[in-house]
Every structure is written in structure tokens, then in C-alpha cells.
Amino acid sequence: MIRIAQILLTLVTIQTGLIPLLADLNPSHVFHEGWLPHARFHTAWAITVGAGLAIYVLVLVWAPAQDRALRLRYASAPGCIFLGAFFVAFFFMDDFSGALTDVDDPIQFFGFDGNVFAFSIAAVVQVAGTIAAWRAVNN
């Protein structure tokens, strides 16, 4: 169960912490000329927080540890928080006139918004990884 938790949590960490860092450092996000400078600041801040948490999780998941099962349980929390925050923002975006993608450049997968599609899959993997982490027992 430990190896399963490690793999699942690593996959979610790459999806939620490292890919957004690479994907959002471009003219559609951090360097978007139409966005207010303060909005660009918050975007840069958000993606670097995500990347920092990703590094933290990867260290917890893969660094040597006396109590690997306990470390995996700690490692499962940031992904739950990150994805939970995404879905809170998603469900309340109409209240603050938010949008999932740039109107001029929407990303779609199988008829779904790309962010919702990707983070829904990540949420399923996160739940599975969290369950595996909490069922893990040190050998």
C-alpha cells in the first residue's frame, strides 16, 4: 500500500504543482497584458505556492523515513487542500465574475473545460492516494 500511495501522490503532485507552474508562466496568465498587475502578482504567487507545496510533498513521499506511513499521511494533505480550493473557486466563480479559461483560448477535453477535466481526474487520483496513505502500514 505504501508504494501505491507514493505513486498516486506523486502523479497528483506533478499535475497540481509542477504542470501549472510550467503552463501558467506565459502570456495567457502571468504575462497577460490585459490583466491588472495585481492579478498577475496573485497568479505568480499562486503557482509558486503550488510548486513549493509540490516539492514539499515529493520530499515527504520519497525521502527516507522511519515512519513512512505517517509521512504519506502528511503528504496527502496539500493535494486535498489544493484541489478543494480549486473546486471552491469553480463553484463560486460566478459570484466574482471568474472564468475557467481565457475566452479567446478555451481548452477543451471531450467537451469539458480542460481545467475541470484535468483537476477532476487529479481529484480522483488524490482521493485514491489519500486512502492508500491512510491504509499504509510500515513494514
Give me the sign of the Cα torsion angle 137, 63, 79, 20: negative
Model confidence at 38, pLDDT cuts 50, 70, 90, reads: very high
Dmax over CA atoms of the chain, in Å, equals: 54
C-alpha to C-alpha distance for 126 and 5, rounded to whole angstroms: 9
pLDDT above 80 for 79 = yes
Rounded mean pLDDT of the chain?
Answer: 93
C-alpha to C-alpha distance for 80 and 8, rounded to whole angstroms: 13
pLDDT above 90 for 108 = no
More confident residue, 34 or 106: 34
